[in-house]
Chain A
Amino acid sequence: MKIDIILAGVGGQGILSIATIVGYAAVKRGMFMKQAEVHGMSQRGGDVQSHFRLSDQEIASDLIPMGKADMIISVEPMESLRYLPWLNKETGWLITNDQPFVNIPNYPDFDKLSAELDGLKNKVVINADQIAKDLGSARSANMVILGAASPYLGIPFEEIEDAVRENFARKGEDIVNTNIACLRAGREFAEKR
């Protein structure tokens, strides 16, 4: 089994914690993992992306070849589209938050952006911000997105839950529970579609 994921967002939105959690679950299963991150200057409010590869075989490249990613997981809608050249046109899935992060003057028209996402073949578009807010933690939108992506990861859901618990354990029981609730809400949304 092999899954190649592009994680996308804006610097500071928490895409790397998605990678940390899935990585933890995958390594625990004995899978191989490679994850190329972006550090440094571009983190300052710019677009950030991470190439995240899981496999039961040894992985050669740290970067995913174009056209071969199985999934784009994005916490921002415009950013999800930036990486379409990497996504497999036939079988790839795009999972994204639909709430724009507007920190540039020429951000595209929201309706046109929605139309662009609607036109894609395999996608889950979710208002993760609202779901996270309703569950009491606006900052956990990334866990809603992870939940929405979880049916396509090939890792049992309980193991992802365990990884979330592990990742937030030192922050206390309340934070663990909120994040688990966000993860489950994202999962439910994806399954109901």
Chain B
Amino acid sequence: MSKTLFLGDEAVAQAALDAGLSGVYAYPGTPSTEITEFIQNSKQGRAGEVHSIWAGNEKTAMESAIGMSYAGKRAMVCMKHVGLNVAADPFMNSAITGANGGLVVVVADDPSMHSSQDEQDSRYYAKFALIPSFEPSNQQEAYDITYAAFDYSEKYNTPVLIRLTTRLSHSRSGVERKAERPQNELHLLDNKKQFILLPAIARVNYRNLLGKQDAFENESLNSPYNKYIDGDDKKMGVIASGIAYNYLMENFDGKCPYPVLKISQYPLPKKLIEKMVDECETVLVAEEGYPFIEEQVRGLLNRTGKIIGRLSGELPRDGELNPNLVAKALGLPDTYGAPVPELVVPRPPALCVGCPHIDSYNAINAAMEKYGAGKVFADIGCYTLGALPPYNAIYTTVDMGASITMAKGAADAGMRPVLAVIGDSTFTHSGMTSLLDCIYENTPVTVMILDNSTTGMTGGQDSHALGVLGEICKGLGVKEEHIHRITPLKAQHEENVALIQKELEYEGVSVIIPTRECIQTLSRRMKKQQAAKKN
């Protein structure tokens, strides 16, 4: 059968479609965005046969997916690693309700923080929730595992988690597809109370979940994705999970002299690990992300001292792995080309020429000058680049929506004036409840919602707030005379600065909405229009 070139993300998406997916729920976030976009652009997505419209945030996405599973259909929910923090409440509790239709949670971690604020490892979440998880090592496995994950979920009535990392999500390779399976029919569980997590029911469900743990481990033991590959040289054994397995094999041209335990399915298969630890003098654990396996295998006391990896220093404690780092840990010679010439300087990402945020930041800097540094609280999006020169305009970026509530906390502490900067999509993701907190107490904060009418940083997905930001703010309770739409352009600079300063002096909640379309989506829209005219 012929192979199709897929990104790791796309392989997951295609597998879900082929496995009879009825709906994907997601909020865009690098490196997970392409999963949902692929489904949106698929035949089934365009025809509306599979739900694929973006959700407001990861929590609403997770809840919708649980609802679809409740109704008996197969649902997938996708997010970046920090998105799982937002979805943590429904995620943890979905382990207690269990699943009806196959429920697959795909989380793309971003070790080395290419586009993220931390490098948390989602395998801990799966262990925390006591549900099975998978860590594919290549694009074909990403496909095969996703395809099979729905069956696993339905077999054990449990949600399952698939963990991707940046280098798999965004790497392309040939993938062989399986037969298409039809979608499930609507059907409810016989036990109509399973999804009611009243304490009396939740206790029963939780014990059921605990009772499945041995079966989960047995699945891992017999999984085609966990392999014990024997080697002659028992001086060392290597446990390699996910894409770390590729980096290991790269160093040996496919044949490692040491025994290798490849891990792509959890909970960990204890028997296989025991075999390796018994057989080998030392055991190197190579894993992308936190020392999740290493910590479990060596234990708190590290009695044997024979488990090495990120905790013992053979591999770095942080950042992503690569073939060279694994070579060093194996005691192989490191390879290196010529050094980078001194004249090569960094080229950090920057706001695009013509970006509306540039004019917003110029106005913000002019307005804030007389108040001194440290009073602008920002959020997650392209506008986070306002932290870099030449703007140096913002002082905080923590999590989606934090700009408004952190500004509130600082105002509560007595700081005056405080300004929050948040994008339109981030505002509807997690900023609305923050604003409501301010309104409830009439906190003196000025909130600037930079409305570029899109989710810019992840490639221009639709924003839930399109055209209705003013109404949302009014509905939440911001006084109408303190809601302003302005146009972030050079020509309006002076009046924009004056308006920001006026609202900064107001001892209550004001919202200023600089409104101008993202230059990237604008140019794409123009191109499409021109093409339409030509035809």
Closest A residue to B334 by CB, please name it. A66
Of A34, A39, A64, A84, which is within 8 A of B338 by CB? A84
8 Å CB interface, A116-162 against B: 116
Interface size class of B (residues with CB under 8 A): 35 or more
Closest B residue to A46 by CB, please name it. B349
Residues of A within 8 A of B33 (CB): 39
- Nearest Cβ on chain B to A118's Cβ, whole angstroms: 12
Of A10, A62, A89, which is within 8 A of B243 by CB? A62
Task: Knowing A61-B246, A65-B324, A65-B327 are in contact, say whether A39-B340 is a contact too (CB < 8 A).
Answer: no
B173 at the interface (CB under 8 A from A): yes
Total count of chain A residues near the partner, CB < 8 A: 54
Chain A 91-125 interface 0/1 with B at a Cβ cutoff of 8 Å (1 = within): 01000000000011011110011001000000000
Task: Knowing A40-B115, A65-B327 are in contact, say whether A106-B338 is a contact too (CB < 8 A).
Answer: no
Report yes or no: A27 in contact with B5, Cβ–Cβ below 8 A. yes
Residues of B within 8 A of A36 (CB): 167, 170-172
A23 at the interface (CB under 8 A from B): yes
CA distance A67 to B332 in the complex (A): 14
Of B31, B251, B341, B349, which is within 8 A of A39 by CB? B31
Report yes or no: B336 in contact with A58, Cβ–Cβ below 8 A. no
8 Å CB interface, A4-42 against B: 10-11, 23, 27, 32-42
A88 at the interface (CB under 8 A from B): yes
- Nearest Cβ on chain A to B2's Cβ, whole angstroms: 9
Report yes or no: A41 in contact with B115, Cβ–Cβ below 8 A. yes
Of A23, A38, A41, A92, which is within 8 A of B457 by CB? A41
B492 at the interface (CB under 8 A from A): no
- Nearest Cβ on chain B to A168's Cβ, whole angstroms: 14
- Nearest Cβ on chain B to A9's Cβ, whole angstroms: 10
Task: Knowing A63-B323, A81-B340, A84-B339 are in contact, say whether A33-B250 is a contact too (CB < 8 A).
Answer: no
Report yes or no: B345 in contact with A106, Cβ–Cβ below 8 A. yes
Q: Of B34, B173, B247, B350, which is in contact with the most chain A CB atoms at under 10 Å from its CB?
A: B173
Residues of A within 8 A of B323 (CB): 61, 63-65
Closest B residue to A6 by CB, please name it. B337
Of B114, B247, B341, B352, which is within 8 A of A41 by CB? B114
Report yes or no: B31 in contact with A40, Cβ–Cβ below 8 A. yes
Residues of A within 8 A of B250 (CB): 60-61, 65
Residues of A within 8 A of B168 (CB): 62
B385 at the interface (CB under 8 A from A): yes
Residues of B within 8 A of A167 (CB): none
Residues of B within 8 A of A65 (CB): 250-251, 322-324, 327, 335
B344 at the interface (CB under 8 A from A): yes
Report yes or no: A27 in contact with B174, Cβ–Cβ below 8 A. yes
Seen from chain A, the residues whose Cβ lies within 8 Å of a Cβ on chain B are 10-11, 23, 27, 32-47, 51, 57-69, 78-79, 81-82, 84-89, 92, 103-104, 106-109, 112-113, 116
Seen from chain B, the residues whose Cβ lies within 8 Å of a Cβ on chain A are 3, 5, 7, 30-31, 33-34, 114-115, 167-168, 170-174, 243, 246-247, 249-251, 254, 322-324, 327, 334-341, 343-352, 382, 385, 457-459
